[in-house]
Amino acid sequence: MTIIDAASVPRGSRITADVCVVGSGAAGIPLALTLSEKGLAVVLLESGYMQEHARTQALYAGEVADEKMHSPSDRYRQRRFGGSTPIWGGRCVPFDPIDFEKRDYVANSGWPISYADLLPHYPLANEWAEAGRFVYDADQVFGAGVNPMFRGFSSSVVCTNSLERFSCPTNFARRYERRLRQAARLSVVLGANCTGIRLVADGGAVSHLDVATLAGNRFEVAAFAHVLAVGGLETARLLLASRDVALDGVGNDHDVVGRYYQCHIAGNVGLLTVAGEPNRVRHGYEVSPDGIYCRRRLAVAATEQRRHALTNMVARLHFTRITDPAHRNGVLSTLFLAKRLISYEYGKRLSDGEAPTLATYLRHVRNVVTDPLDTAAFFAHWLSRRTFADRKFPSVILRNRTNRFSLEVHSEQIPLPASRVSLAESCDELGMPRLRIDWRYDPADVDSARRTLDLFASEFERSGIGKFAYDRETLEADLMRFGAFGGHHVGTARMGRDVRTSVVDADCQVHSVRNLFIAGSAAFPTSSQANPTLTIIALALRLADEIAARLDRRQATAA
């Protein structure tokens, strides 16, 4: 119908709709549009505006128990129309069937739904993310045995055939703005901050949501269904801060909201020296027949994960440490020297946490000066294939003449109740308590990564691909150099059957509140090796079907 500013909503009024969705990120926009295209009346409340807005972004500021282990809470997420999608990297990967299983060796694992329950929604999620067909097996996309990751490598333990597909990366606000404007019975309200979930007296349903603007306007929204699609951190904040009827926070009867907070364990580790010619290795991007950048990675087969009691982890081939000028690569040294010009989110992992010496800077400058042709060629490629391209080349990939790589690890972490977000004493400009983040990991996460790397090493050696070595003593420090992997905020309102250990049920409904739902990674019980967004979208689409079916049932009963 329209996109309006919350300032124009009459003060003290109540908006009604079939569904109120709070948050317009990767979860909120597909959810709201799908519901509206099913004929439902939808209000989409969004705190931010079309562009970044400093005072709105400041509403995300909070406290972090240990800033070495977790970035500030207003980094790695954007409080604006489109959520964090204007800055996301676009890597799309579905969760694996094993992620949904209860695994005895992963404490607190197990979803109340299976991969098969989500599978019908993944292809459409791929479309929303503009990541092409829902096919993630390299043999199916490129043909069996075409351009393998390592020529001559064959293993039933380590797979090199699973793909990552890359979105444009799609900025959901820009891409879907017109569709939102044209949708029948859908209103998007910008500058509308949901500040509280108000329950009816017995606590079993939402009466309405409180909405406030930074300029002081106040109004309410009441709907048949209310969906929080405010991201993995803010979901917990909103539930915990709504304490008028449920004194410990909405859905928090068993002190679960905010607990089991997960990100990913990630870092660059070791040295893989591949034997033979450089063309024996494929480590960059391939373009699929449907025009999508794809990349292969190393993964452990599910049967082997079970047999060795391993958490789900993948590794990509990566250049050796950028901070160490010994790589003698002009492009890497240029990136190192230019890191202040790169946004916090993308620049963070370009430093070591240690201040470089003047000698280090000079050696980087020498690399640039002595490698001018490669450096110039790289920037020409970057400008044409990334800066000015609609579908952007996903990341820096360099021709590797040395056949030496580090492994870029990305792993799930074991969900821990002690890893949590809670409310701080201080409040934001709207009077809402700020977040306090205390992210933790289990030593077993590092142990599992170690055993997975050992499996990679033994399979490389067995197949004659080459040698992988890493420093066992420094592995934990290497994986924790930058703390929690930013931008993936998982588990703070987890899905489950047991109300004592979960917040929402298999339909993403808050257990104790019949018309309140969570869309987003807050509802994931475990974090997988995969980046979260594709699964966030798939789960949101599944939720749209569920809400529409409930509304149909209510209307049928009323009729």
Q: Which of 33, 34, 41, 48 binds ligand FAD (CB under 6 A)?
A: 48
Residue 381: phi and psi, rounded to 5, are -60, -45
Contact, 367 vs 333, CB < 8 A?
A: yes
Between 348 and 385, name the residue whose CB sits nearer to ligand FAD: 348
For 373-379, the CB contacts below 8 A with 24+ separation are 374/329, 374/330, 374/331, 374/399, 375/330, 375/331, 375/334, 378/330, 378/331, 379/334
Q: Which of 9, 19, 20, 24 binds ligand FAD (CB under 6 A)?
A: 24
Map the footprint of ligand FAD across residues 473-532, applying CB under 6 A.
487-488, 520-521, 531-532
Q: Which of 19, 21, 23, 141 binds ligand FAD (CB under 6 A)?
A: 23
Q: How far is the CB of 9 from ligand FAD (least distance, A)?
A: 14
Q: How far apart are CA 490 and CA 521, in angstroms?
A: 5
Closest CA to 541 of 108, 123, 12, 90: 123
**Part in contact with ligand FAD (CB under 6 A); list of ranges 229-237, 401-409, 435-443, 459-467:** 229-237
Contact, 46 vs 24, CB < 8 A?
A: yes
For 449-452, the CB contacts below 8 A with 24+ separation are 449/265, 449/269, 449/311, 449/313, 449/409, 449/411, 449/475, 449/479, 450/475, 451/308, 451/310, 452/300, 452/310, 452/311, 452/313, 452/315, 452/411
Q: Which of 9, 40, 42, 45 binds ligand FAD (CB under 6 A)?
A: 45
Between 76 and 142, name the residue whose CB sits nearer to ligand FAD: 76
94 binds ligand FAD (CB under 6 A): no
Interface mask toward ligand FAD for 62-91; x: CB under 6 A? --------------xx-xx--xxx-xxxxx
Q: How far is the CB of 24 from ligand FAD (least distance, A)?
A: 5
Count the Cβ atoms, other than its own, within 10 Å of residue 135.
18
Q: Which of 36, 47, 422, 512 binds ligand FAD (CB under 6 A)?
A: 47
Write the DSSP string, 136-151: -BHHHHH-TTSS-SBT
46 binds ligand FAD (CB under 6 A): yes
Between 77 and 316, name the residue whose CB sits nearer to ligand FAD: 77
Closest CA to 239 of 447, 525, 455, 432: 432
20 binds ligand FAD (CB under 6 A): no
Interface mask toward ligand FAD for 173-192; x: CB under 6 A? -------------------x
17 binds ligand FAD (CB under 6 A): no
Q: How far apart are CA 211 and CA 242, in angstroms?
A: 13
Q: How far is the CB of 392 from ligand FAD (least distance, A)?
A: 12
Q: How far apart are CA 198 and CA 515, in angstroms?
A: 12
Between 231 and 483, name the residue whose CB sits nearer to ligand FAD: 231
Q: How far apart are CA 122 and CA 152, in angstroms?
A: 33
Q: How far is the CB of 233 from ligand FAD (least distance, A)?
A: 8
Q: Which of 9, 15, 28, 220 binds ligand FAD (CB under 6 A)?
A: 28
The single residue listed with the structure tokens 């201040």 is 355
3-state DSSP assignment of residue 208? strand
For the four alpha carbons of 356, 357, 363 and 365, in that order, the dihedral sign comes to positive
Q: How far is the CB of 237 from ligand FAD (least distance, A)?
A: 8
Q: How far apart are CA 28 and CA 217, in angstroms?
A: 23
Q: Which of 193, 305, 406, 419 binds ligand FAD (CB under 6 A)?
A: 193
407 binds ligand FAD (CB under 6 A): no
What does the binding site for ligand FAD look like in residue numbers (CB under 6 A)? Answer: 22-28, 45-48, 76-77, 79-80, 83-85, 87-91, 192-194, 229-231, 234, 238, 345, 487-488, 520-521, 531-533, 536
